[in-house]
Amino acid sequence: MIKIYLCIILCVVCLGLGVLAAYFIFAYVANRNKDGAYNKARKIVEEAHKEAEGIVEAAETKAKKTLNDADEKGQVLIKQLKEEAKKEINEQKIESEKELKERKIELANKENRLNQREQNIDRRDNVLLSKENALEEKQENLLKKQSEQEEYFKKQDEEIKQKYVTLEQRNQEIDKELSRVSQLTLEEARNEILKRVEDKMNQEVTSYMKQREDEAKEASEEMAKNILGLAIDKFSQEVISERTVSTVSLPTDEMKGRIIGREGRNIRTLEQMLGVDIIIDDTPEVITVSCFDPIRRETARLALEYLIKDGRIQPGRIEEVVEKAKNDVQKSVHEAGINAAFKLGLPRINKELLDYVGRLKYRTSYGQNVLDHSIQVAYLSGIMASELGLDVNLAKRAGLLHDIGKSVDFEMEGSHVEIGVRLAKKYGEDDVVINAIESHHGDVEAKYIISHLVSAADTLSAARPGARSETLENYIKRIEDLENICKSYDGVSTSYAMQSGREVRVLVVPEKLSDNDAYKLARDIKERIENEMTYPGQIKVSVVREVRATEIAK
């Protein structure tokens, strides 16, 4: 458009210059030769006018041509822009359709999983309903049996009372007969008879008490078996096992080199920040994260998955991802603790203590998940407490917290029992809960009935088939290795592994070893066990040196 305006202005200027030039020429010629040159000047003016019109016409033609060229270019440009916009819209439409298709597939998979889960829940509900019916029938039979026993004991009491009345009558008759036959006074005869009757009654009462005591023992054993069977039937939990070593899948083997980094820079940064060992071997598309602390291991696994998904693996990015993984693990731990308390219906548990409960989600013992094991123990303790008329919530609380020390036994000194007692006292737990924690492995005497229930529930949960991955052969071998290490030292008489291998007692010959030697022997055994054996938790080594002086008086 600017070129067109310039051309028009140029034409106007040229036309004005031509007219002006013609005017001056005409004036000049008129002045010199007014008469003869007028026609000549007029001719020149007409020629100049024609020339100016030609210039104007050429300028207009050029301007029109320029305008047409500009219109054609504009149309071409608009057409190109339309084609590019249409192409971009088509690409976005294809991507949207692809994403929508993926979302539909994912939604369909979720619906299938939900349907399967609903079917499993319905199936489990049916099984639980049948078990509840069977348990109700068992309970009715038990109540019927108890009522029959009560009636039987009641009849026996009535018979004894009747015999006692009959015996009194006979005693009176005997008193009369003795007073008649013998020369004893009535008082002396009564005392003699009473003495005989008392001796006989003592024998009968003793026999009766022994019989009732035996019957009570049988009834209590039967009742205990029924309560344990009822607890096991009411609570059915799936077996859940986890491995202590985490693996991370890789999209390609090329990713191993990126994780290692230039001169091992990336993998050193990861191991230093996470506190784990990252094992990269010949296994295709897999790396292994090894660490005794389950929280660090889970944090490392999440951080590696985030880095692999993001693709940017460098020291600066590693710091951000590690911090994000730590926050995610802490959030997961907190939610796991809250969900466990909510599932058991336990109110008013300290939030910090719930975080320790949530840490058990990533802790395993012989392949058994400790959080699931603690929830199982809480359920079983609550069921048995309900049958005995005890505080159900207190029993569940003690069952949930009985292994709380295992959440930090990789970070704190002491066995998980000692750590658990310290944590329970720190957060103001009830004495029943504290006693249940410290007595569930027999380290301390159980002072409350709930403590016995927690110990029994702990045994039931751990002894279920498939609950723990350690086989009987491995367990026996570990116990034998522990005893053989102790027996290999001079002066040792014998050794006994106790509490499932958590304690070993070594008996020494007092003539061969002194008290100082016993202390040194305990330390040497401790160091050798730490170097040669693999075991969960801690092992207490007790060296016993006893001197007995015996004499016989003749």
More confident call, 422 vs 211: 422
In CATH terms, 235-469 corresponds, of 3.30.530, 2.40.50, 1.25.40, 1.10.3210, to: 1.10.3210
pLDDT confidence of residue 278:
81
- Distance in angstroms (rounded) separating the CA atoms of residues 92 and 80: 18
For the CA atoms of 204, 205, 210, 216, the dihedral, rounded to the nearest 10 degrees, stands at 130
In the structure encoding, which two tokens stand for residue 53, read together?
């019109």
- Which among 333, 274, 281 is positioned nearest to 305, based on CA atoms? 274
Residue 450 has pLDDT above 70, yes or no: yes
* 138-161: average pLDDT: 77
Q: Out of 122-136, 399-413, 515-529, which region has the weakest mean confidence (pLDDT)? A: 122-136
The ranges assigned to domains in the chain are: 235-469, 472-544
Q: How confident is the model at residue 472 (pLDDT cuts 50, 70, 90)?
A: low
Report yes or no: 182 and 189 within 8 Å, Cβ to Cβ. yes
- Distance in angstroms (rounded) separating the CA atoms of residues 139 and 131: 12
Per-residue CA distances from 185 to 192, 197, 199, 263, 283 (Å): 11, 18, 22, 118, 108
Q: What pTM was estimated for this model as a whole?
A: 0.49
pLDDT confidence of residue 347:
78
pLDDT confidence of residue 240:
42
Residue type, 516: N
Residue 290: which H helix or E strand, with range? Answer: strand 286-290
HSE value, Cβ hemisphere, 13 Å, CA-based, for 255: 18
Q: How confident is the model at residue 239 (pLDDT cuts 50, 70, 90)?
A: very low
Residue 467 has pLDDT above 50, yes or no: no
CATH superfamily of 472-544: ANL, C-terminal domain (3.30.300.30)
Mean pLDDT (the chain, rounded): 78
Report yes or no: 457 and 381 within 8 Å, Cβ to Cβ. yes
pLDDT confidence of residue 61:
80
Q: How many residues does the chain have?
A: 554
